[in-house]
Amino acid sequence: MSSDLQANDRPHAGWIYGELSTTINKPGVEDGIAINFGIVGPAALGEEIQKLNHSITGDPKPQGWKFQLKNEPAILIRYRRSWFTPLFETVNVKTDLITRTGINLGNFITDASAGFALRVGNFLPEHELPLRIQPGMSGNKAMTAIRKDKFDWILFAELQGRGVVHNIFLDGNTFTNSHSVTKRNFVWDASSGLVLGFGHFKYPVFLSFSFVWRDHEFVNQQDRNSFGSASICIQY
């Protein structure tokens, strides 16, 4: 890894944040609202965390962090509306379609999105899919409904398009000069995964696994990004 500035690659950056979110459910519709407060830059400890991870895995020491984004408070307000449309069902299997629109506003990212997800499972609550790595997919729930004394499963696949006005990880710092690249204003994300609910325990357990394929986000980007995401939640 080179210690020189990589002019054709996105800036180095760390991001640490906390979030307050709520959902409002009506028959066939769910509204999700979230306010995200955090910081981008050295204070987010991205450099230290990556170096620690590389030391554990034995990978080469990461370079180039001297060119990372400068410290900047990052505020993000997210809103998403999802519609649930049943498709067909048998005794043990159901399918439905989630269509959604959303908007993100803030100095961290400002964009608008629209997309859909197809779900297949034995129980399909009218709740959005689990939270994935942001920015991108519109799920913002840590958990979904878990039925007492039941084992539930959901398979899903989804596609979403985004119109991007601002992305601090591509455009660089908002108020100071920093490295940046030329972003693409229209991008897409695709995802597939599995959701499992175990309601037999005293404290029900929820597991989710997903894999995300992300479109080229900036001019001259060599490869698309793809990554996995997993979560475990205990309901009490």
Domain ranges of the chain: 79-234
pLDDT band at 62 (very low <50, low <70, confident <90, very high): confident
Beta strand 72-89 with 225-234 is unpaired
- If 0-12 CB within 10 Å is exposed, 13-18 middle and 19+ buried, where does residue 166 land? middle
pTM (2 d.p.): 0.85
Say yes or no to pLDDT of 197 above 80: yes
Assess contact for 183 and 218: CB atoms under 8 A.
Answer: yes
For residue 191, which of 162, 213, 161 has the smallest C-alpha distance?
Answer: 213
pLDDT digit string, tens, across residues 99-126: 999 999 999 899 999 999 999 999 998 8
Fold annotation for 79-234: Lipocalin (2.40.128)
User: Rounded to whole angstroms, how far apart are CA atoms 111 and 184?
Assistant: 12
The span from the CA of 157 to the CA of 174, in Å, is: 35
CA distance 207 to 200: 14
Q: Residue 107 carries which side chain, given as an amino acid letter? A: N
Mean pLDDT, to the nearest integer, of 172-181?
Answer: 92
